Homo-oligomer: A and B are copies of this chain.
Amino acid sequence: MPQKDPPRRSTVRDVAVAAGVSPGTVSKALNRSGQVSDETRARIEQAARELGFRPNELAKSVFNRRSFTVGMITTDSFERFSVPVMLGAEDALGAGRISVFLCDSRDDPIRESHYIEVLLGRRVDGIIVTGRSSNPRKPISVDASTPVVYALTPSSDPDDCSVVVDDVAAGRLAGDHLIGLGRRRIGHITGPSSFDAVRRRAQGLAHALEEAGTTIAGGVLAGSWSEAWGRQAAQILLRSNPDIDAIHCGSDLIARGVTEALRDAGRSIPSDIALSSTDNWQLIAEGARPPLTSIDMNLSQVGQVAAQRLLEAIEGKSQSGIELVTPTLVVRASTDGGV
């Protein structure tokens, strides 16, 4: 009879003896299953309260073969992008009384597979995989009975279920907005062209401009995600296309750099040049001079939808393919001189 040193908490049996009934009856009373007389139930609940009884969910899980637990693996240390996704997912899952295991793989395949082993050992009901970039990734390998949903970073296997941001729509949204303001000579300064997101956003922007009979002024200026690149690219653009009347940026940080270069060049925002960007990173967008109009990628919605799909898959109704979440335009002073 092994007796361990860890804390011995009160059990169903303890409650049973305290209430003078059998363990089975305690279970029924506390779970409102089966038929128990009000009088007995009251006595049991009383005893449970006095003993500070809290049912052991682990034991239930063993019995139910269901842990009400999911794993969330990120490759990017939950930086700016995956945090909102993760919170959205946690939110949606919490409502279904499911807890989330946090795993930061740091983009290391060894760590990642280690985490997968651990999660499977803990019998998670499913796994959400998230990352930074929207470039597809190799699917993780788990036994077929554990559902997996990819968020933000899709799986390269089209049979998997992925939920990502609609980058084309993001570009188009910005384009339509600037066009709607009457601008026609619109530049685009963005991140490295190795990112699918960069290419798709540019594509969406180009489509919007095409419909208005124009093209991206100066072409797509792809560089890095930094403020420094924003400053530099803005200078290039002002030199090549001095008559430009709007610029759309691939990130808020880039846009910050652009605001500075424009100020240095004596161009005012938005009257001379309207400026929009992507991410809607509040602290950055609102702190800029002027505050930035930005495309919100609705990352927490990505997380919520991913969680939703995972729940469905756990229930046996699994989807496959890539689901797109639509971004939203947030207008601020950098395109809105009116207010």
Q: Chain A residues in contact with chain B, CB under 8 A?
A: 2, 4, 6-9, 52, 54-59, 61-67, 69, 72, 77-79, 83, 86-87, 90-91, 97, 99-104, 117-123, 143, 145-146, 226-228, 253, 256-257, 260, 283, 287, 289
Copies of the polypeptide in the assembly: 2
Given contacts A6-B66, A58-B67, contact A99 B87 (CB under 8 A): no
Kindly identify which residue among B55, B91, B104, B256 contacts A121, using a CB–CB cutoff of 8 Å: B55
Shortest Cβ distance from residue A280 to the other chain B in the assembled complex, whole angstroms: 15
Q: Are B90 and A104 in contact (CB under 8 A)?
A: yes
Report the Cα distance A88→B285, complex, angstroms: 28
Q: A52-B143, A77-B87, A283-B253 are in contact. Are A122 and B57 (CB under 8 A)?
A: yes
Report A190 CB to chain B, min CB distance, Å.
16
Residues of chain B contacted by A123 (CB below 8 angstroms): 9, 56-58
Q: Given the known inter-chain contacts A6-B66, A64-B6, please indicate yes or no for A121 contacting B287, CB distance below 8 A.
A: no
Chain B residue at smallest Cβ distance from A124: B99
Q: Is the CB of A65 within 8 A of B117?
A: no
Does the CB pair B4–A287 fall under 8 Å? no
Secondary structure type dominating chain A contacts? mixed
Which residues from B are CB-within-8-Å of A253? 283, 287
- Inter-chain CA distance A175–B47, complex, in Å, is 60
CA A86 – CA B77 in complex, angstroms?
10
Taking A57-B122, A58-B123 as known contacts, 12 extra A-B pairs with beta carbons closer than 8 A to each other, sorted by chain A number, are A6-B66, A7-B145, A9-B123, A54-B117, A55-B121, A58-B62, A69-B122, A79-B83, A87-B104, A99-B101, A99-B102, A257-B287
- CA gap between A6 and B289 in the complex, in Å: 56
Those 10 A-B pairs whose CB atoms lie nearest each other, nearest first:
A7-B145, A227-B287, A6-B65, A57-B121, A102-B102, A100-B102, A59-B62, A58-B61, A57-B122, A4-B65
What's the Cα separation between A104 and B283 when bound, in Å?
Answer: 20
**Which residues does chain B contribute within 8 Å of A260, judged by CB atoms?**
289
Contact, CB under 8 Å: A256 / B287: yes
Question: Is the CB–CB distance between A54 and B99 below 8 Å?
Answer: no
CB distance from A289 to the nearest CB of B (A): 7
For A56, give its contact among B56, B62, B97, B143 (CB under 8 Å): B62
What are the residues of chain B within 8 A of A146 when measuring CB–CB?
7
C-alpha spacing A104/B7, complex, angstroms: 27
**Minimum CB–CB distance for A161 against chain B, Å:** 18
Give A213 Cβ to nearest chain B Cβ, in Å.
36
Known: A104-B87, A253-B283, A253-B287. A122 touches B99 (CB 8 A): yes
Query: What residues on B are CB-neighbors of A99 within 8 Å?
Result: 101-103, 118-119, 122
Nearest residue (CB) in B for A121 is B57
A102 to B143, CA, bound (A): 25
Q: Are A54 and B121 in contact (CB under 8 A)?
A: yes
A87: B residues at CB distance < 8 A: 77-78, 104
Give the residue name and chain of the B residue nearest to A59 (CB): B62
Measured between beta carbons, the chain B residues less than 8 angstroms from A256 are: 287
CB-CB under 8 A from A65, the residues of chain B are 4, 6-8
